[in-house]
Structure 1
Amino acid sequence: MPAPAPAARTPQQRPGGSAQRRRAVRAAAPPPAVRPARGAARSDARARAGARAGGSRSGGARVADLSARLGRRRPLPRPGRRAALVAAVLAVVLAALAWLALGSPWLRVQQVRVSGAERTDPERVLALVGAQRGEPLAAVDTRELSQRVGQALPLVESVDVLRSWPSTLVVRLDERDAVAAVPSTSGGVDLVDADARVLQHAESAPAGVPLLSVDVDSARPGALRAALAVNGSLPAEVRSRVASITAESPDSVRLQLLEGPEVVWGDAGRPERKGQVLLRLLQEEEVARAALVDVSAPDAPAVRSAP
């Protein structure tokens, strides 16, 4: 039996046509995801973790290296070195100040000024202090100078020697007050202070200084000191009216007023009470014209009229 004749092929059924279309479709479709094996996944995770750790270690190394470089570029001063530097600067400053105070020609004594010398001759003060001219003002021993002037001048009670920069010495005197004038055997009077120290000789008692008419040879011991004590304790209103004070013994001091009677004062006790009684009595015209007023016992005063 004869074989059947092959059927005619259409264009779509050409050999190889279907296979080409399948290959084109597979090429256009995305490739399927490939899942790695379990061991490979673990290896990749360890690799990534190591990479991160390595990156951190690398970054820390870079920071440490940068800090080291900065530290080498700007070294901080050590405390000991800083203290030595400060000490050196202070030493230089102190040396400069010392030279300025002791060696500078502008800080030497060029002038001496005296104040408070009312009865003291300023030339005597200058003679005692003038040797300091030309000396460094800072090196002057002011205490020693004060003692020297105070011991040499009896009128001076206290002395202050001060530095007045840049080149002046100031001598401030505090003079003793003459509280009484005592007749001198050579004529005139000796001005004495409250301790019976003779301050200076004068021709007569200055205004406001009473005359102590005390015969030291014939008076009992202590009469002069008692008169001085009474004079020093008199109230100001009474003292301004006293012309002279006499005493034959420590408890028989008498006052002679400038315009008024003689006053029997007695000893140096109760001066304020005696002064109050005397001033009240002198307000009466009869007492003001009296010859004698006795306030030695102030609670029982007595008045004796002039003859």
Structure 2
Amino acid sequence: MSGVSLSSVPPLSLADEARDPAGFAHALGASFERFGFAVIADHGIDPALIARGWAETRAFFALPVERKAAYHLPGKAGARGYTPFGIEIAKDAAQHDLKEFWHVGRELPAGHRYRDRMADNLWPAELPDFKPTFLALFDALDRVGLRLLAAIARHLGLAPDWFAGPTENGNSVLRLLHYPPVPADAPGVRAGAHEDINLITLLLGAEEAGLQLLDRDGRWLPVAPPDGALVVNVGDMLQRLTNHVLPSTTHRVVNPPPERRGVSRYSMPYFLHLASDFEIRTLRQCITPQNPDRYPDPITADQYLTQRLREIGLLK
């Protein structure tokens, strides 16, 4: 470890966005340009709702293995329901991640044009409060994500509502993550070095140590937000859209120190995605003589997602 604290990435208050939209946009954009990450306090999500989310998460992962396995949908790339321990692997990694997870997606009405691309949610019959809790938390994170995207748009010189259309009914996913306790000699890391696929990620639960980002000088910096704060990072889709003006930073979750290896780690990342048929085309204002267009050929969000899911082993 470098000994450098992520206090150098100052927490930002989302309350400032309402008081000073331009100032907040500048601070958020500067944090993303420097680190690819930001720490967001005062996000306004009901603490009681978050607490219910943690309780339901722990209750599900405490179920017997055979009961959890009943909610695994083979061949569906983990898009909904349960993905067992040891399936996902970071791109180009030698070992699988030490985690299991559950995915909650967007609820779409009957006949919606995205129903053939976005599967219906699956809900554990053993936990009657699971569905209402996570539908409410999904919506809350979605609303916060749109506020952050409005600030990103301002930072890029776009209209504040620029992302509203491209993300309407987007293929976003709330992931409930469980990293089980590991033995003292556990190989690898809980989650290998990777970048996120999506537009931005909003993460609850990074207070338990382990999350690190790879800084420009090659050092791994620990991400240690204040209690209750969100960690937000740029995903590959936003990096591509902005021609790397906003970088998607490599990050990982390392095994804890020996005294914490008998403790489970839980987190809840919300992967905010574009609409499936949105065409990712480099923003003109992000192309300069010094930063020529890296991606002259556009690609739809769904095509890009499919490519990446194959790379990480969730889609064959």
TM norm. shorter chain > 0.5: no
Structure number with the bigger relative contact order (C-alpha 8 A, sep ≥ 6) is 2
| Bigger proportion of residues as helix | 1
Q: TM-score, normalised by structure 1?
A: 0.19
Report the structure number with the largest CA radius of gyration. Answer: 1
Q: TM-score, normalised by structure 2?
A: 0.18
